[in-house]
Structure 1
Amino acid sequence: MTEKLFYKNSYICEAECEVEDIIEKNDKYEVILKSTPFYPEGGGQPCDLGTIDDIKVDYVYEEEDIIYHVVKEKPEGRLVMCKVDYDRRLDHIQQHSGEHLLSAAFFKLFKIVNAGFHLGEDYVTIDMLFKDMTEDMIREIENEVNKYIYRNEPVSTYFLTKEEALELPLRKGIKAEGKIRIVQMGEATDFSACCGTHVVRTGEVGVVKIIKYENYKGMTRVYFKCGLRALKDYQEKHDCITDLTRNLSVEATGINNVIKNQRNEIVELKRKLSALYSNLATREAEKLLSNNESRFIIAQYKEEGFEFLEKLHDQLKDTNHILILGSLKDKKLILAHNGSFDFKCGNLFKEKLKEFGGKGGGNDKRAQASFEVEASIKNFIEYLREVL
C-alpha cells in the first residue's frame, strides 16, 4: 500500500520518498514509492504531473492501493525527490471542490442529483439528472454556490465504513465497498464520498461561474469554471468587451443594441445584393446565350464570387448546354447540364478532381469544386474542355 501524502495535506507538492520497486513495462518504467505526493487518476480527477529526481512523470495511476508513476527514464537512487506541478494541483483542487459545492447547490435548491463529472484541461462539466433546466434556475444555483464559498467554511476528510457513511446525509449514493473517504464541506453544506484532493476551506475555491448548459442524453450538462480558471475566463471576456466598446464607440451596456442594428443592416444589404446579383446574372446569361453557337458555355470571372455563379447557373441550367462556370476570385467551379448529355458530373469530378488539387463532388447533373490556387482551377477547366 502506498502512503498518500496528498491526503495529509492537499497542497503538499514536494517530498523525498523511498523507492519500493521499479517495473519495466512497454519501454517505460513504473516507479512504486512507499509514500508519494502524486495524486493518481481517479474520481473524475486527472492525475498529477511533475518530476521524480528531475525525470518527467508522464502518468500516475492506482491499482489495489498501489500507486504507479510512469516515467521514461529509470531513477537511480533509493531516495528520490518528488515534485508535483503545483499550478496543475491547485487548479484541480479548485475545480473539484467547486464541483462538490455546485452539486450541493443543485441538490439543496431543486433536489437534482449529479450523475457525472469531467475535469478536463479546456472545460469542466457536470451532468445533472434533470432535463428542463432554465436560466432562472441556473442563476439561482450560481448565487447559492458562491454563498458557500463566501462563508469560507472548513472542509474536512475522514474514512468511515460503508455502514457508518450511509448514516450521513449524503448527496448521492455509494457504490464502493470497504473504507469510504468522506469529504465534508461546512457543518452541513455537503457530504460526499470522494477520493480527490480538496481545499481546506471553501473560500479557497474563489468563485464558481457557470459558463453554459445544454441538453445531454436526457440530462443537463453544465459547463463551469472555478478559481483561477474563472478569473482567466473573465479577463479574456473583459478584454473582448473592451475591444468592442472601443471599436463600436459605445458603452458596454449598448453593445447588444449596436450589434442588433448592424445585423439588421447586413441582412438588408444582403437582400439588396442578392437582387442585384440576380439582375446581373440574368443579363449575363442573355449575353452568353446570344453569343454562343456551341454546346458549351464556358465562363470565368475574376471579380465575381461563387454567389454570382449560383445565380448564373439558375438562369442557364435548363438550356441545352454544358455549363463550366468558374469564379477565380473564390477559386470555385460549377459543372452542370440539363440531363440531355451522356456523362455524369459527379462521377467525372470523383475520377479526376484530386489530380488537380481540388475538393468537391455532386450528382449526375451538377457538381462543384473548390481549389487552393487559381492555376489549379484554370487547369481543371481546360481539362473539362478537352475531355468533353
Structure 2
Amino acid sequence: MRELFYYQDSMIKDFTAKVVRTGVELDGRPYVVLSNTAFYPTGGGQPHDTGYINELKVIDVEKVDEEIRHYIEGELSSLTEEVRGVLDWARRFDHMQQHTGQHILTAAFVELFDFATVSFHLGSDLVTIDLNTEHVTDEQLTLAENRANEIILENLPIETKWVTKEELSHYHLRKDVAVDEDIRLVIIPEFDYNGCGGTHPYSTGLVSSIKIMGTEKMKKNIRVSFVCGKRVLNQLAMRKRVLSDVARQLSVPEESAHEALTKVLHSAKANEKALSEAHDALLEYEAKELLNNNQHPHVAITFQNRTVQTLQKLARFIVSQNNEAMALLVSENEDKLQFVAARGSNVARSMKDVSGAILPLINGKGGGNDSFVQGGGEKSLPAIEVLQLMKNTI
C-alpha cells in the first residue's frame, strides 16, 4: 500500500500507469485496475477521488480485496496498455483540507477539554465530528476553533510514517489504531499523532482556515459541524448573499439587519395575536347570531371550506352562551368532510353517539369525549346529509 502514488505524494495531480485488468461488476459497472494509482478510494471517512483515465470519466473508486477498482463511464475497449490518470484536483484538495482540518479540530478539543471524537463524516457541504460529551459551551467552541486556527497559521509540517504494531508505543496516539499491519501515522509534531489512511497536504497552512458552523445533540454526544479552506469562503459568500437580501428587503444597512428583523418579528407576532383575537370576537358574535336565529337552542348548520379548528371554536362559543344548547357543525372542504358536535353543560346526551354514527359512513377518524367530539373523512356523502344524520342521532 505504501507504494501507491497517493501515499508517495498526496499532491500528485496526474500520473501514468499500466492497465492490469478490466472487469464488469454484477450490477453492470465497468472498472479498471491499474499497476499504480493516485486516485484515492473511499475509506476512513474520506470520499473517493474522481477524474479521468485517458478520455474515460472516473466516477467512483473502491478498494475491493487487495486491488483498487476505478469505475468508469465509457467503453473499456478504448483503454490502451499504458494510460494517463488525471484527478479532479479541486475535489481532492477540498477533501484533504476537510480531512486535515478534522484532525486539527479533533486534537484541539482533546488538548483543551479532553473531548474525544467518536465519529467523523466528510459531507459535500459540511464536515461533522461527534464528541463524547453531552454539553459544549459557546466559549469552549470558540476556544477550540481559535486553537485549531493557531495550528493552521503556524504552518506546521504534516508528516506520514509507516510503523509496526510494536513501534506504536513510541508515539502518543490520540486513539488506538484499528489495524495490525500497514499502520500509517499522520503526525503534526508536538500536537497530534493519529493512525490514518487518508490523504493530507504537506503542512497545516494549506488547510487555510477552520470555522465551526453549529452543534446539535446526538444521543449522548454533541455533533459539531464545521468547514475548512475554500468551504469557509463559500459559506461566507452564501451568508453574505442572504444577509444582503434580508437587509435590502428591510431597507436597512446590513449591520442593522438583526435589529430590524427583530422588530418586524415582534410586530408580526403582535399582529397575529390581534388578528386571532378579532377572529375569536367574530366567531363569538356569529355564535350569538346563530342562537338568536333558532327557535330552539340547538344549532345545526353546514359550511364551505372552514377548518376544523374554526368549527371547534364556534361550537365552544355556542354551548358556552347557552347551557341548554347543542352545536352540530359540518364543513365541506376540497377533498374531505369535517364535523364537530358539542353540548351545553345542562345537556345529558353523549356526543360520542354522534361521532360513532358518522365516522363509519365517511371512512373517517375522530375523537373527543361525551361533551365534545370532532372528526373528518371522505366526501362520500353531501354535507347536508351528514348533518341530517347527526340530527337524527340526537
TM-score (norm 2): 0.82
Q: Which residue of 1 aligns with 2:50?
A: 49
Residue 320 to residue 206, structure 1, CA distance change in 2 (3 Å)? same
How many residues get paired?
A: 365
1:322 paired with 2:328, answer: yes
Q: 2:315 touches 2:327 (CA, 8 Å); kept in 1?
A: no
Listed as ranges, the matches of 1:201-350 within 5 Å are 201-291=203-293, 296-300=300-304, 308-316=310-318, 320-325=326-331, 334-338=338-342, 339=351, 340-341=353-354, 343=356, 347-348=360-361, 350=363
- d(CA) in 2 for partners of 1:11 and 1:134? 37
The 3 A distance-change label for structure 1 pair 83 and 322 is farther
Distance 1:362 1:384, change over 3 A: same
Gaps of 5+ in 2: 343-350, 390-394
1:5-154 correspondence runs (5 A): 5-26=5-26, 27-71=28-72, 73-76=74-77, 77-154=80-157
Structure 2 distance, partners of 1:136, 1:113, is: 18
* Paired amino acid for 1:261: K
Q: Identify the residue that residue 347 of structure 2 maps to in structure 1.
A: none
Distance 1:74 1:242, change over 3 A: same
Shift in Å at residue 288 of structure 1? 3.4
Does structure 2 retain, via aligned residues, the 8 Å contact 1:114–1:126? yes
Q: One-letter code of the match for 2:71? A: V
Map Cα deviations across residues 346-388 of structure 1 (whole Å, 9 max, x no partner): 555546xxxxxxxxx543732357xxxxxxxxx9497333465
Query: Where does residue 168 of structure 2 map in the other structure?
Result: 165
Taking a change above 3 Å as real, the CA distance of residues 386 and 86 of structure 1, as seen in their structure-2 partners, is farther
Distance in 2 (alpha carbons) for counterparts of 1:342 and 1:264: 41
Output one character per residue of 1:128-178: Cα deviation in whole Å (capped at 9) or x when no partner. 112221110001111110111111112121211122233112112222111
Query: 1:367 corresponds to which residue?
Result: 375
8 Å CA contact 1:180, 1:193 repeated in 2: yes
Q: Which amino acid aligns with 2:331?
A: L
8 Å contact kept, 2:125–2:231: no
Q: Which one-letter code corresponds to 2:37 in the other structure?
A: T
Note closer, same or farther for the CA distance 1:368–1:208 as it changes in structure 2 (3 Å cut): farther
Specify the structure having the higher radius of gyration (Cα). Answer: 2
Answer whether contact 2:134 2:222 (CA < 8 A) is retained: yes
- The structure-2 alpha-carbon separation of the partners of 1:311 and 1:320, relative to structure 1 and needing over 3 Å to count, comes to closer
When the two chains are superposed, the root-mean-square deviation of aligned CA atoms in Å is: 2.9
Residue 382 of structure 2 aligns to a residue in which SS? helix
* 1:74 positional shift: 4.2
Is the Cα contact below 8 Å between 1:149 and 1:205 reproduced in 2?
yes
C-alpha contact (below 8 Å) 1:309/1:327 kept by paired residues:
no
> Once the 2 structures are TM-superposed, how far is the Cα of residue 223 of structure 1 from its aligned partner?
0.5
Quote the offset at 1:277 in angstroms: 0.9
Q: Which amino acid aligns with 1:5?
A: F
Larger deviation: 23-32 or 49-58?
49-58
Alpha-carbon distance between aligned partners in 2 of 1:245 and 1:60, rounded to the nearest angstrom: 45
- 3-state DSSP of counterpart to 1:341: helix
Once the two structures are overlaid, the 10-residue window that deviates more, 245-254 or 191-200, is 245-254
Q: Do the aligned partners of 2:31 and 2:71 also contact (CA within 8 Å) in 1?
A: yes
SS in 1 for 2:224: strand
Equivalent pair of 2:131/2:221 in contact (CA under 8 Å): yes
Find the residue that maps to 2:354 and give its secondary structure: coil
- Matches of 2:8 and 2:358, distance apart in 1: 71
1:86-116 residue CA offsets vs partner (Å, 9 max, x unmatched): 2211211111010011011111111221111
Distance in structure 1 (CA, Å) of the matches to 2:2 and 2:76: 18
Listed one character per residue, the Cα deviations across residues 18-70 of structure 1 (whole Å, up to 9, x for unaligned) are 11112222122232111112100111111112233333333211134321122
- Is the 2:332–2:383 Cα contact (8 Å) retained in structure 1? no
- The 3-state SS of whatever aligns with 1:35 is coil
Report the identity percentage. 32
Call closer, same or farther: CA 1:202–1:350 in 2, change over 3 Å.
Answer: farther
The worse-fitting range, judged by mean Cα deviation, of 62-71 and 311-320 is: 311-320
